[in-house]
Amino acid sequence: MNIVVCVSGGGTNLQAIIDKIADGTISDTKIVGVISNNKDAYALTRAANAGIDSVCVSPKDYEDRDKFNKAFLETVDKFNPDLIVLAGFLVNIPKEFVERYRGRIINIHPSLIPSFCGKGYYGLKVHEAALLRGVKVTGATVHFVDEGTDTGPIILQKAVEVEPGDTPEILQRRVMEQAEWIILPAAIDMIAKGYRID
Ligand code: GRF
C-alpha cells in the first residue's frame, strides 16, 4: 500500500510511521511522498533523512484558495497514493480532495473525539481545553476524513491519564507517546490488511 503523509510541524507522527514500517509493525506499506504546507516543518527534514520524496505546497504561494486547492490536489494525485495520512496537517481540506479520496484519507486528532475537537481545536489548544475542563482522562483518535472537521468515522482511540500538575505541553507529549504514535501506525496497518469503513 502506497501512502502519502501530509504534515505541518515537527513530524513526530510521521517519524512513528517511518519507524514502524522499518520494524515491521506496519505491514505492506511504503511512504511514497510527504507533503507539507510549511517549508520550515521539521517533518521535511525527517522525510529527507529517511530518503522519502517531499514537496512543500503552501497557500502563501498562491493568489487564492482555489489555486492552492488545485495545486495541492495535483501534488497528491502525482504520488498516486492508496491512502493519505494527515499527521499534524493544519490545512483546511478541500471538498474536492475529500470527494476524490473518500474513505482513503485518515487523520490523527489529539483527543477522544467527540471531546475537544472541531474548529479551533488543534495542537496545544486541544490540551489546554482538556485541562481547563478538568477531565481525568484524555487521549487520541484516528478517524476517516469527511467534509467536516474531525467528524468522519472513528477507526481507533486510545485513552491517556491526565496527571496532577500537567501543563498543556506535558500532556501533549504524553498523548503523543502513549497514544498518537501507537494508534496512527496501528490504523495504517489495519488498512493495509484490508480494513475499510463498512
Ligand atoms: C500534534 O499535537 C498532533 O496531535 C497533531 O498535530 C501535532 C503535531 O504533530 N495531530 P507532529 O509532531 O507534527 O506529528
What is the domain-level CATH number for residue 40?
Answer: 3.40.50.170
* Residue 13 in contact with ligand 1 by CB distance below 6 A: yes
Q: Helix-strand-coil percent breakdown of the chain, rounded to 5?
A: 40, 20, 40
Q: Are the C-beta atoms of 139 and 112 separated by less than 8 Å?
A: yes
Say if 197 falls within a structural domain.
no
Say if 160 falls within a structural domain.
yes
Say if 111 falls within a structural domain.
yes
Strands 2-7 and 83-86: parallel
Say if 198 falls within a structural domain.
no
pTM (2 d.p.): 0.97
Say if 85 falls within a structural domain.
yes
Helix (H), strand (E) at residue 14: helix 12-22
From 20, 122, 149, 158, the mutation candidate for ligand 1 (largest count of ligand atoms within 8 A of CB) is 122
Q: What is the number of domains present in the chain?
A: 1
- pLDDT tens digits in sequence order for the chain, 198 residues long: 999 999 999 999 999 999 999 999 999 999 999 999 999 999 999 999 999 999 999 999 999 999 999 999 999 999 999 999 999 999 988 999 999 999 999 999 999 999 999 999 999 999 999 999 999 999 999 999 999 999 999 999 999 999 999 999 999 999 999 999 999 999 999 999 999 986
Domain of 13?
2-192
Give me the helix-helix angle, 12-22 and 181-192, nearest 10°.
50
Burial of 133 (0-12, 13-18, 19+ CB in 10 A): exposed
